[in-house]
Amino acid sequence: MRQFVDSATGEIFYTEEVLRRSNEIIKVFRPVGRSSKFVKIKASQKAKRPLRKLSLAEAGFLLKIAPYASEGTNLLQGDNERGQKGTPLTVKDLARIADCSYPTARKIVKTFMELHVMRRTDLEGRSALAINPLYSLNGKTAEAWLLHLFSQEITEAGEDPNLD
């Protein structure tokens, strides 16, 4: 295993071999000293079309916020470093995470909602944002209510509703 050090931040990175299917892009986030998180970017050909239309800023925004999706539910929630653990992240929180202005984050979230990359839902009386599991899934399987929330998009994309 080879080790690399980011000269700007001092963060330590290691090379790893990742096996994936031909239609998957996988990004694994494993900061040193923290628990690892499995984030999978999965998209059928139909689901990839809106992703190809994303600007570089929008695609970068999605990659930066994806690790904040809770396992199985894809709800964007705090982790005590950014936002309170288990509490839905606001657009203002997402702007801080993605290192962009609030108006830019608001515009990107609006675009994601129009493209069905993201949806608002209710979490214990609070508004929460969830990422469509066709685009990014934290964990190995999606919970039933998440699949139901995006069932129309999953069916239209011709994907298996279980997204295994």
Length of the chain: 164
Q: What is the pLDDT of residue 76?
A: 94
Beta bridge mates, 26: 40
Spatial distance between the Cα atoms of 98 and 151, rounded to a whole number of angstroms: 28
The single-letter code of the amino acid at 161 is P
Q: What's the confidence (pLDDT) of residue 35?
A: 52
pLDDT of residue 119: 94
Sketch the domain layout of the chain as residue ranges.
Answer: 43-156
Name residue 137's amino acid.
L
In the prediction, which pLDDT does 124 show?
81
**Whole-angstrom distance, CA of residue 20 vs CA of residue 50:** 22
How big, in percent rounded to 5, are the helix, strand and coil portions of the chain? 35, 25, 45
CATH number corresponding to 43-156: 1.10.10.10
* CA dist., res. 29 & res. 36, Å (int): 6
* C-alpha to C-alpha distance for 129 and 118, rounded to whole angstroms: 7
Per-residue pLDDT in tens (0 to 9) along the chain, 164 residues: 677 777 777 777 777 666 666 766 665 555 544 455 556 665 567 667 777 888 899 989 998 999 899 988 999 998 878 878 889 999 999 999 999 999 999 999 999 999 889 999 988 888 999 999 888 888 778 888 888 898 888 888 777 666 55
pLDDT at 161: 61
